[in-house]
């Protein structure tokens, strides 16, 4: 993505600030007479005439001399017979958009420089993900590694969870040849710099993790912590969107592999731009799309579900009930955690349902809940935090959230730990929370 060199010819009276802004985008030549304008060498990308300088004769001479160059008159006035090849542009409008865009890019580029400086001295960098790495987190890690001009020797992408099992994620890692390491907490001290993407330090709960240098995430800020570089953008649908903006601002070449990963990251986190997506996500998606390998993406998305799991899926769906517009599913004991969000996604499609709550028990030790809603009701993330923050880790976005609660805490809270009791308890607290009048919900 090499930017071609732009050359601008300004003729007439212009503010120096405006010329300064254009000079960031290319070379600016500023003259005050037609003779000067006609004696320039080389070609221009654009010729901009100031309103009072414009006459049909002058513009004709310019058009003859620079036949390849568009002429813009900074004038919103109507002309009876505008000469061909001259565009009268509401220049102030065009300019304000340009200026905003320039400012945004310049600001983001400065952020990238800050970020690079934070990790510049590190011999061994760790890009750490949450315990259940999903496409958004994996793509963001790849993007960060590219942005920091590092490779798999100088920047490890790791997580503290189990081996990855969700078929689509396994396919993504295999087909895009991404090296992801399952680490133990003790190994964290092997690195002299750590960056978190798609997760924040507070997610790791009471676990002792070393000092974190960088946090880049789109989940709402949870708790307080220190980091040299923090970019928390809860308005974005995916961390991949934040990293795509960084790569664009820094004019980094995005390989097909990286574009495909980022596109998939945005796609899964926003359910193809349907959930919690904002214009930035759409823009990043549109930008990445032409450079992505769509055939490969289809292979990732079509990842096979093991036949043994069809049975779990069927059994799980059998144990469902609907109350107050909430679709509940007790998935029961499962080996593969990804079945729970999968079933929750399915539940929100049921007619008349506004909420979907799927839950199951993993490893005989934890109750996992996956919550979805239709988007125009209370925030799912806030709701699960309010319900479970005292007894487990809980959080998420407006329409998708998750909670992980140790079974010991469940027993302490409700006195019992059987599935019958858990079902009753969750039905009660969710119907109450969902139907309760919202005090301050945004
Ligand atoms: Mn994410």
- Tens digit of pLDDT for each residue in 47-84? 888 888 888 889 889 988 987 777 788 765 656 665 65
330 falls within a domain: yes
Residue 441, in any domain of the structure? no
Do 260 and 351 lie in a common domain?
no
How many of the other CB atoms lie within 10 Å of CB of 266? Answer: 29
Note whether 352 and 220 are same-domain residues.
no
Q: How far is the CA of 413 from the centre of ligand 1 (A)?
A: 30
Q: Classify residue 80 as exposed, middle or buried by CB count within 10 Å of its CB (0-12, 13-18, 19+).
A: exposed
Same domain (yes/no): 118, 167: yes
Identify the CA nearest to 238 among candidates 151, 141, 167, 170.
141
Number of domains within the chain: 3
Same structural domain, 287 and 324: no
Mean pLDDT of 316-325: 93
Query: Over pLDDT 90: what percentage of the chain?
Result: 54
- Residue 226 is predicted with a pLDDT of 92
Residues 230, 127 share a domain: yes
Distance from Cα 436 to the centre of ligand 1, integer Å: 29
Displacement of CA 322 from its chain's centroid (Å)? 33
316 and 396 co-located in one domain: yes
Indicate the pairing of strand 400-406 with strand 366-373: antiparallel
**16 C-alpha vs ligand 1 centroid, how far in Å?**
43
Residue whose token pair is 């600016």: 28
Average pLDDT value over all residues in the chain:
87
Q: Tell whether 412 is covered by a domain.
A: yes
- Measured in angstroms, how far is the CA atom of residue 129 from the centroid of ligand 1? 10
Enclosing domain of residue 57 = 6-89
Alpha helices in 348-400 (DSSP H): 380-388
- Please write the tens of the pLDDT for every residue from 229-249: 999 999 999 999 999 999 998
Cα of 192 to ligand 1 centre, how many Å? 25
Are residues 280 and 135 part of one domain?
yes
- Whether residues 262 and 113 share a domain: the answer is yes
Least confident of 132-141, 192-201, 358-367: 358-367
**Same domain flag for 146 and 295:** yes
Q: Tokens representing 83?
A: 């000469």
Strand partners, 321: 328
Residue 106 has pLDDT above 70, yes or no: no
Separation of 398 CA from ligand 1 center, angstroms? 13
Q: What is the whole-number distance in angstroms between the Cα of residue 386 and the centre of ligand 1?
A: 21
Distance from Cα 326 to the centre of ligand 1, integer Å: 25
Q: Is residue 94 part of a domain?
A: no
CATH no. for residue 399? 3.10.310.30
Q: Report how far ligand 1's centroid is from the alpha carbon of 38 (Å).
A: 55
At residue 182 the predicted structure's pLDDT band, cuts being 50, 70 and 90, is very high
Q: Measure 218 CA to ligand 1 centroid, in angstroms.
A: 6
Assigned domain for 1 exists: no
- Verify that 123 and 155 share a domain, yes or no: yes
Q: How high is the pLDDT of residue 442?
A: 43
């Amino acid at each position: 993505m090499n930017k071609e060199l732009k050359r601008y010819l300004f003729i007439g009276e212009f503010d120096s600030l405006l010329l300064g802004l254009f000079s960031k985008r290319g070379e600016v030549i500023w003259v005050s007479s037609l003779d000067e304008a006609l004696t320039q060498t080389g070609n221009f990308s654009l010729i901009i005439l100031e309103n009072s300088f414009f006459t049909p004769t002058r513009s004709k001479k310019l058009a003859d001399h620079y036949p390849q160059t568009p002429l813009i008159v900074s004038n919103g006035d109507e002309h009876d017979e505008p000469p061909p090849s001259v565009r009268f542009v509401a220049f102030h409008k065009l300019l304000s958009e340009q200026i905003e865009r320039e400012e945004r890019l310049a600001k983001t580029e400065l952020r990238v420089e800050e970020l690079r400086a934070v990790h510049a001295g590190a011999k061994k960098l760790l890009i750490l993900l949450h315990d259940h790495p999903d496409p958004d987190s994996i793509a963001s890690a790849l993007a960060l590694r590219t942005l920091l001009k590092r490779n798999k020797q100088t920047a490890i992408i790791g997580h503290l969870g189990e081996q990855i099992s969700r078929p689509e994620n396994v396919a993504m890692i295999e087909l895009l040849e991404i090296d992801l390491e399952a680490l133990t907490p003790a190994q964290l001290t092997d690195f002299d710099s750590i960056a978190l993407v798609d997760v924040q330090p507070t997610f790791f709960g009471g676990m002792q993790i070393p000092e974190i240098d960088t946090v880049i995430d789109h989940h709402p800020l949870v708790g307080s912590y220190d980091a040299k570089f923090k970019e928390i953008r809860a308005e974005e649908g995916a961390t991949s969107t934040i990293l795509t903006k960084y790569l664009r601002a820094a004019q980094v070449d995005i390989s097909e592999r990286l574009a495909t990963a980022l596109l998939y990251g945005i796609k899964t986190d926003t359910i193809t731009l349907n959930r919690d997506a904002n214009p930035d996500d759409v823009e990043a998606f549109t930008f990445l799309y032409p450079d992505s390998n769509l055939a490969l993406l289809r292979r990732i998305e079509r990842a096979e579900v093991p036949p043994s799991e069809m049975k779990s899926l069927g059994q799980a769906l059998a144990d469902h009930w609907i109350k107050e517009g909430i679709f509940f599913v007790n998935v029961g004991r499962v080996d593969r955690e990804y079945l729970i969000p999968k079933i929750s996604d399915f539940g929100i499609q049921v007619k008349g349902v506004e909420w979907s709550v799927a839950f199951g028990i993993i490893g005989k030790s934890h109750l996992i809940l996956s919550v979805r809603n239709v988007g125009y009701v209370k925030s799912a993330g806030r709701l699960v935090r309010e319900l479970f923050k005292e007894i487990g880790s809980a959080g998420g976005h407006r329409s998708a959230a998750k909670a992980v609660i140790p079974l010991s805490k469940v027993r302490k809270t409700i006195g019992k730990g059987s599935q019958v009791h858990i079902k009753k308890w969750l039905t009660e607290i969710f119907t109450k929370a969902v139907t309760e009048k919202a005090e301050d919900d945004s």
